[in-house]
Amino acid sequence: MSEWGGEQVFAIINYRSNHELQTIITSNYGLTALAGRMTAATKGKDYGDDVQSQRILSRICGMCYIVEIGGRDFRMDGRSESSV
């Protein structure tokens, strides 16, 4: 994630948190993996530093209930959901 991208994500999450707006966030990553994705390095320079990703995750954890949904991925085994 670029520095600019991280700033934009933080601004959106922070605004919605401050105004107590309902927000649904989905991800295929857990919190630790998501933090790692947000601090990805580009061209040898770290964009989206650890502090920024922690600020974003802190806001998300403070405003959302975390619900993990398990099960197999129907797209990965080649079958559509309607055939089950």
Q: What is the pLDDT of residues 39-77, one digit of tens each?
A: 765 545 555 567 888 899 999 999 989 888 888 877 777
Structure confidence at residue 11 as a pLDDT band (50, 70, 90): very high
Total domains in the fold of the chain: 1
Structure confidence at residue 8 as a pLDDT band (50, 70, 90): very high
- Percent of the chain scored above 70 by pLDDT? 80
Q: Report which secondary-structure segment, H or E, holds 56.
A: helix 50-63
Neighbours of 36 (CB within 10 A): 13
Neighbours of 9 (CB within 10 A): 19
Residue 70 is part of which domain span? Answer: 3-83
